[in-house]
Amino acid sequence: MNYKITDIVCILQAKCDIVHECTVSDLLTDSRSLTFPEKTLFFALVTKRNDAHRYIGDLYRKGVRNFVVSSLPEDRKQMADANFLLVKDTLSALQSLAAAHRKRFKIPVIGVAGSNGKTVVKEWLYQLLHEDYNMVRSPRSYNSQIGVPLSVWEIDENTELAVIEAGISKPGEMDKLEAIIKPTFGILTYLGDAHQEGFSSMQEKCIEKLSLFTHSESVIYDGDDPLIVDSAEKMCMGTREIAWSRKDKDRALYISKIVKGEDSTRIDYDYLRFSSSFTIPFVEDASIEDAIHCLAVMLYLGKTGEEIAARMCKLEPVAMRMEVKEGRNGCLIINDSYNSDINSLDIALDFQNRRSAARGMRRTLILSDILQSGMSPDELYRRVAEIVIHKKIDRFIGIGRELLSYKSLFPMETEFYSTTGEFLASGAAECFSNELILIKGSRNYHFEEISEALELKQHETILEVNLDAIIDNYNYYKQKLKPETKIICMVKAFGYGAGSYELAKTLQDRGCDYLAVAVADEGAELRKAGITMPIMVMNPEMNSFRTLFRYSLEPEVYSFKLLDALIYEAERQGIMRYPIHVKIDSGMHRLGFTLEDMPRLSERLKSQTTVMARSVFSHFAGSDEPRFDAFSRQQIALFKECAVAVQSATPQPVMRHILNTSGITRFTEEQMEAVRLGIGLYGISACGMDTDLRTVSTLKTTILQIKELEEDQTVGYSRRGVLTRRSRIAAIPIGYADGLNRHLGNRKGAVVVNGKRAPIVGNICMDVCMIDVTDIDCKEGDRVEIFGEQLPVTEIAEWLQTIPYEILTSVSSRVKRVYYRE
């Protein structure tokens, strides 16, 4: 949609002297996602930790000429041809513009709220209804105070039906989203514990979510959930309630029977005096509930039982995440198949650009025809070509007959194929080298086959790393801190086993202040991969000074010997004012300067100009345990005294930091200028108090073979696994060379197969171990979780009488890491 800038000024009631009249069509809140500068209106959002006004100059240089701001830039005179729309609050302005945009359209809009299942329901509704309507749906999980306005903005004169997600984390947020979405009817999915910390009770959260439907015609929900039913009654919304039920035959939609098969489920139902049934290719309870929500929508829209049955059986799994995998010949694969539309393409290309800019790799896009866009092919592929050109794609591979017809629009290196099979048969999959390849395809093109063809084949044990969980955990601790407090994130030891580069890139994108690694070589590898943010080296060695200086790595300094050697080498290379981080021994008695060293240290720092103290810090000995609190407070007091001496020797401000992960939670008031976030970033509470952290790393493998063995037979080396009954024993391809501790053998440890614990039988071998699956319904090829959501690392650490750090960092480098975004 195009808007005149004068009309937007009126909608926002902004103060603005229009320099030149123009039209805008793109709303931008993330400066890194710029595509069409001449059509863009940038909202300079201000958050607790970031002020986007600082990106205005850079965006202006890239061609943006329209800005919504809450304060005018000091160098405004140098941007004389730009329009600055001055408002009180830029986020409120974004929401107001989206709300005004929504009012222009008299179309059905489905609002989806809840704790779990929102995205699946949204995507399944698209699968079920896109043949009948030109649809708009929220891209990925654009369900926040920022994401919802951007989603609603995609509605245009061609749209016939929209499905918009709404997510909240605290009271008062849903009213703002309701004003933007204005759903004509809605769905409340499963209500769980997610974001519960923002609410005093589950009922308060339920009522807040239901408030999205205050002015809707109807709302669909599980009528067997007493919390939802009671909350709906308390609200007295005046909205028609379609509460489906498995128990109450008097409900408008009664689910009379659910029959699960091996890989499908039949659902029988009664609706307004007629009975019917359908089958879905899923058996999980959550999928069944999501399908019933979709059933209610289709019935509400007047679909027949025959139409519903024909479409439900074709439902496909929703790709909830964007995976990053290692490819062959030095390539990196971003797999975003199963989902292809113009909006998600833009988002995926942004993700690709940020990684390619850091790694210096060629950017390749493999794209299928885009189906059901609502645009004419001419308009659609002209728009696709514009996006691809603006995103500076080096190599474009189009698959589909429509793309083939529009190949002249793509000026870069190109290849075109009619089908996925034709591409795979051509041998083109063998011709990639040192490329960052984004795979983006509509479902019926089966681009998962391309992903498999390009992926570096390793053995079937993988470590899945959830980058969104890293972000959520980072934000969890960030919200405990003052806005000005800096966060130093620990990515040493290969990112606690998760892989340091992808974590570092993710944290850099989120505005993290510092990274910390163990040795200079770790920091150098991050620099080579394109990480530009400050990096602290916690254990610098005497022979690493050249590496430190070459890659701008900031060393910890803990002794006079190290300090003098560093000063000498810096002087020899003509380096001035190089940042260092002074470590204080406040009671840990591992490394560091003592209180008695302070006079000498102060004089030494004053007597030279080659290095400067960027920070002064210390380590707690027991901040995670209340029994050491008195000693921890002694450490804090001693550290502060030492920090005064360091500051006195340094003219510029020196950051102080003593709080580690548990310290952030237990001694928040002592955060000073910075904190260090370690194990909590990876989803593990150091003190047992941080219960809302998300699991980051999941170690998985597969069942290779299952054998039926008789009682008294033995399993494994040294015949240690003696069977006491007739058993089914499965072999899985993971052993101590992969990081599975041998002490977990002989039933001391277990793994999870299809939701159930399977004891490890016999001695663990180098590459394989055996598990007892006698009481578990499973088959060869089924997934096995070694640790993750179902089997926490903390529990394995208890079995081994060790700490979670050891479990995480023991995962071998030969285990493939797969990174994904939800």
d(CA 314, CA 569): 68
Query: What angle do helix axes 305-312 and 118-129 make, rounded to 10 degrees?
Result: 120
Q: 124: closest CA among 307, 344, 280?
A: 280
Cα–Cα distance for residue pair 608/597, rounded to 1 Å: 17
Per the residue annotation, which of 103, 257, 528, 717 is the catalytic one? 717
Its sign, for the CA torsion 673, 679, 680, 682, is positive
DSSP category for residue 456: P
Q: Output the six-digit token pair for 314.
A: 């074709």
Burial class, 180, CB count within 10 angstroms (exposed 0-12 / middle 13-18 / buried 19+) = buried
Helix-helix angle 598-606:560-572, to 10 degrees: 0
| Measured distance CA(169)–CA(198) in Å, rounded | 6
Q: Which of 211, 209, 219, 12 is nearest to 101 (CA)?
A: 12
Tokens describing residue 822: 């939800």
Is 689 assigned to a binding site? Answer: no
> Which of 102, 103, 108, 149 minimizes the C-alpha distance to 125?
108
| SS (HEC) of 367-422 | EECCCCCCCCHHHHHHHHHHHHHHCCCCEEEEECHHHHHCHHHCCCEEEEECCHHH
Active site residue 505: no
**Cβ atoms 770, 709 nearer than 8 A:** no
Cα separation values, 668 from 477, 485, 595, 623, 663, Å: 10, 11, 24, 11, 7
DSSP string covering 490-546, please? E-HHHHHTT-HHHHHHHHHHTT--EEEESSHHHHHHHHHTT--S-EEESS--GGGHH
Q: Which residues contact 378 (CB under 8 A, 6 or more apart)?
A: none
Q: Catalytic site residue 492?
A: yes
For the chain, how far is it from start to end, CA to CA, in angstroms? Answer: 28
State yes or no: 766 annotated in a binding site: yes
Name the catalytic one among 492, 505, 583, 700: 492
**821 token code pair:** 């975004």
Secondary structure (DSSP) of 776-796: S---TT-EEEEESSSS-HHHH
Residues with catalytic annotation? 492, 717
* Known binding positions: 590, 766
* Known binding positions for substrate: 590, 766
